[in-house]
Amino acid sequence: MDYPEGATPLDPDEMKGLKYKHVTTRGELDHLEQANMQSGIQWMKKSTKKHILNEVFVRDLHRKLFGDVWKWAGTFRTTEKNIGVDPQQIGVDLRMLLDDVRYWIDHDSYSPEEIAVRFHHRLVLIHPFANGNGRHARIMADALLMKRFERPPVDWAGGYDLQAMGTRRKEYITALRTADRGSYAALFDLPEYKERMSSAMLLRRNPRKILPALNTRHRLAYESRPAPYKSGLAFCLRG
């Protein structure tokens, strides 16, 4: 099965988790996943849960988005991928991320939209699941905007299909990879994000602003690590 650039290939054991054995092409799989996602998004919108920054909701949302297609939906991956932390670190790094997001909210570190974009990127970088991480992270960020801040969701695709290979997907992937190195400027400059960003928030694009926004426990963990682990956000993702 072909995978678009930036997608996570599945290993043979993970492919066995496909509930529809007749599926043989990427197009057929995309069609099934898209239908499942629509029902998952409706579940998210109708959910009355306000406290979503916890592992249970993160996993439940993935299960609702992909559980009609994949048996392992909502279960953390157990294999190494071309992106993401070591499988044994997923739970730890996810808890650190959720702690950081709560800290950003409690201390008004960033605007709601910037918190959503940073949350989305860090969740993609952890890559908790075998598949669907980008889509799950975008919808998780939208849930944060809608339920915690009572703000409209981000138009992540800007009117385009991010699953289909094209200029917009390449720009999106490039922006994510730039954020991996600690700079969110490329993400914030994408048209669909930029129109939601205030001029005050754009002034915070300097990656040196990331460290002060971490809570004390995570900042101490960062400062105690060797220099190679202090590049960008690597300290949240390794070792």
Count of beta carbons in the 10 Å neighbourhood of residue 170: 12
Q: How much is the pLDDT for 85?
A: 95
Q: What's the number of CA atoms in the CB half-sphere (13 Å) around residue 143?
A: 29
**By the 8 A CB rule, do 201 and 58 touch?**
no
Q: How many residues does the chain have?
A: 239
Q: Is the dihedral of CA 17, 43, 116, 95 positive or negative?
A: negative
Condensed to tens digits (0 to 9), the pLDDT of residues 24-71 reads 888 899 899 999 999 999 999 999 988 999 999 999 999 999 999 999
Rounded-to-integer distance, Cα 185 and Cα 78, Å: 32
**By the 8 A CB rule, do 113 and 95 touch?**
no
Domains, in order of start, for the chain: 12-236 (1.10.3290.10)
Residue from 112, 234, 117 nearest 187 by CA:
117
**By the 8 A CB rule, do 163 and 3 touch?**
no
Which percentage of the chain shows pLDDT scores above 70? 71
User: Which of 52-66, 68-82, 158-172, 219-233 has the weakest average pLDDT?
Assistant: 219-233
Which percentage of the chain shows pLDDT scores above 90? 49
Condensed to tens digits (0 to 9), the pLDDT of residues 65-123 reads 999 999 999 999 999 998 899 999 999 999 999 999 999 999 999 999 889 999 999 99
Residue whose tokens read 């044994």: 88
Taking residues 139-164, report their average pLDDT: 77
Mean pLDDT score across all residues of the chain? 79
SS (H, E, C) 52-81: CCCHHHHHHHHHHHHCCCECCCCCCCCCCC
3-state SS assignment for residue 43: helix
From residue 24, alpha-carbon distances to 6, 30, 37, 121, 177 in Å are 20, 11, 20, 31, 30
Position 199 confidence tier, pLDDT thresholds 50, 70, 90: very low
Examine the pLDDT at 232 and tell me if it is beyond 60: no
User: Which of 13-17, 103-107, 199-203 has the weakest average pLDDT?
Assistant: 199-203
Examine the pLDDT at 140 and tell me if it is beyond 90: yes
From residue 23, alpha-carbon distances to 12, 36, 70, 123 in Å are 14, 15, 12, 29
Tokens of 227: 């220099």
Q: How much is the pLDDT for 235?
A: 30
Rounded-to-integer distance, Cα 23 and Cα 97, Å: 35
Position 202 confidence tier, pLDDT thresholds 50, 70, 90: very low
**By the 8 A CB rule, do 98 and 126 touch?**
no
Position 186 confidence tier, pLDDT thresholds 50, 70, 90: confident
**By the 8 A CB rule, do 147 and 27 touch?**
no
